């Protein structure tokens, strides 16, 4: 960082570099720590994805009425009810 065109550290970058140096000074292995954190993140993503699938499956079993069966949406008239339902549906 000391050169003819010096660069500055961001607060986040300086904090991360300090933590890395402390970790190495305490005998930690950086590569193993990175792999461990990556595996933890992948595990969290898998759990989150599974949770979403379980919730979706339960909702599909509980709700027998589908949005396409609502006549207000299929008539074509623009009423407050149809606009409200379309905004909830996302279209």
Q: SS in 3 state form for the chain?
A: CCCCCCCCCCHHHHHHHHHHHHHHHCCCCHHHHHHHHHHHHHHHHHHHHHHHHHHHHHHHHHCCCCHHHCHHHHHCCCCHHHHHHHHHHCC
Q: Which of the residue ranges 10-14, 22-26, 65-69 would you say has the lowest mean pLDDT?
A: 65-69
Candidate ranges 14-23, 54-63, 69-78; pick with highest mean pLDDT: 14-23
Specify the pLDDT at position 15: 92
Residue extents of the structural domains in the chain: 30-89
Specify the pLDDT at position 78: 79
Which band of pLDDT confidence, cut at 50, 70 and 90, is reported for residue 76?
Answer: confident
């Amino acid at each position: 960082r000391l050169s003819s065109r010096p660069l500055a550290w961001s607060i986040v970058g300086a904090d991360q570099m300090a933590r890395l140096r402390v970790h190495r000074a305490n005998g930690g292995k950086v590569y193993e720590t990175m792999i461990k954190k990556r595996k933890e993140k992948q595990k969290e993503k898998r759990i989150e994805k599974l949770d979403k699938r379980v919730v979706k499956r339960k909702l599909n079993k509980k709700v027998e009425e589908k949005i396409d069966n609502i006549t207000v949406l299929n008539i074509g008239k623009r009423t407050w009810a149809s606009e409200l339902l379309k905004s909830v549906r996302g279209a």
